[in-house]
Chain A
Amino acid sequence: MNAPFFKFDYFNTDVSLIFAFIIGIAFGIALERGGFGRATILAAQFYFTNMRVLKVMFTAIVTAMLGLFYLSVIGFLDLSLIYLTTTNMLPMVVGGLVAGVGFVIGGYCPGTSMVAVATGKIDAMVYVLGMMFGIFVFGEMFPSIESFFNSSEMGSVTLPQYFNMSYGLVVFLVVLMALGAFAAAEWGERKMAAKKSEANP
């Protein structure tokens, strides 16, 4: 068998929607079990009191990255057929900053807000309305910011290509970075917990 299955026409678009639904269910379950349906837990990331966001996110990235890497090494999966969003550096940097500010103000990101809506959080419902309004404003502005949106175009480019390193080496470095981040997160949580118990003995 060759992966990605859809790219090798193992099934048609209608069947792909069934997979979309099933994969979405699994995604929702994972987010809910991680505690990501609650804004207080997500926002705690930015005050170093609960680093779940970083832990879950980097573990997921490392898991999927290693899986993709090994599946391509053994010849099961063709990495070049995996969809890669084009890099437009400036709009992505500005968009990332705005999204980060929006994250700590709103308390959710788009995916986690869906789980929060599904588990009854009123603020998440308001958040989703806000998000749709933001997208609408972006759409109305689009003709005037289209040139910025398409600026600093670098095509579909990966970290190994950009830094001229082998794929395996970058995978290794990302794993190292994640392990360092986990150690720092555990240390930071202990520090904050100690500080809190000092303040209210």
Chain B
Amino acid sequence: MTSLTKKFSHAFEKDEGHVHIEIEAKPYSNPYLVGIGLGLVLLASFVIMGRGLGASGALSTLVASGVNAIAPDHASHNPFYSEYLGDGTTNPLKDWLIFQVIGVLVGGFLSGTISHRVKKGIEKGPHISTKMRLIYAFVGGGLLGWGAKLARGCMSGQALTGGAVLNLGSWAFMMMVFAGGYGAAYFMRRQWI
């Protein structure tokens, strides 16, 4: 565990004497404590807004806005895009999920900075090239984006949020995500282990 969760941020040099100071990245927190924290954030969202958390919906709004900017006619005739674009009275980017996802970016950066874990890099196992890893990242992202749209939400909007409100379809989705992940894991082992 510690070998996985520890890493070193690179040394930086002082102007004189070339003193290298290694700042060690702090280990990640206890998963059960993080879970309680995440659960309380989700609960706060329910209590304040009456809705849970999300992620893929914000990207859908971005994509729909992009299509609308390039081909407005095409977007308005497609019910998938037009749902994210709204009735045209307000800017579609002035959206709850967009602001929430901007918050996630800020929160992730703040937390990473405090714990010395912000570092440019590529996440992969030792037996795969950088190029293949990036191809897999694109393909996996594509499948997840497509699948999440078909399922009306992703791990945040369905599994986490729908799981907590005991939504039937969300639980089915969650079980299927684990089934798909474990089913494909064998074929992807070269990438990760």
Contacts and interface: CB of A to CB of B under 8 A. Distances in A.
Interface residues of B, number: 123
B141 A139 contact: no
A156 B172 CA distance: 14
Contacts of A68: 43, 46, 164-165
Helix, strand, loop or mixed for chain A's interface?
helix
A90 to B, nearest CB: 10
Contact of A130 (B37, B47, B140): B140
A29 B108 contact: yes
Contact of B80 (A29, A35, A88, A139): A139
Contacts of B147: 94-102, 134
Interface in A88-132: 88-89, 91-124, 126-132
Given A87-B167, A139-B78, A119 B142 contact: no
Contacts of A56: 31-32, 34-35, 38
Interface string B125-154: 100000001101111111111111111111
B5 A100 contact: no
Contacts, number: 539
A159 B80 CA distance: 28
A157 B168 CA distance: 6
Contacts of B36: 59-60, 63
A138 B146 contact: yes
A167 B189 CA distance: 40
A194 interface: no
B122 interface: yes
Nearest to B96: A20
A7 to B, nearest CB: 5
B63 A77 contact: no
A96 B39 CA distance: 22
Given A23-B44, A29-B107, A100-B180, 9 more contacts: A45-B181, A64-B43, A91-B151, A93-B173, A130-B142, A133-B142, A134-B147, A137-B146, A146-B80
24 contacts: A49-B4, A60-B36, A61-B164, A63-B38, A64-B52, A68-B43, A84-B162, A93-B172, A99-B155, A99-B176, A101-B147, A108-B137, A110-B154, A110-B155, A121-B121, A121-B122, A130-B137, A132-B63, A139-B81, A139-B149, A143-B79, A149-B150, A157-B167, A159-B171
Interface of A: 3-7, 16-35, 37-41, 43-47, 49-50, 52, 55-65, 67-68, 71, 77, 79, 81-89, 91-124, 126-140, 142-143, 145-146, 149, 154, 156-162, 167, 170-171, 174, 182, 189, 193
Nearest 7 A/B pairs, CB to CB: A24-B103, A106-B140, A100-B180, A59-B35, A63-B39, A28-B107, A95-B151
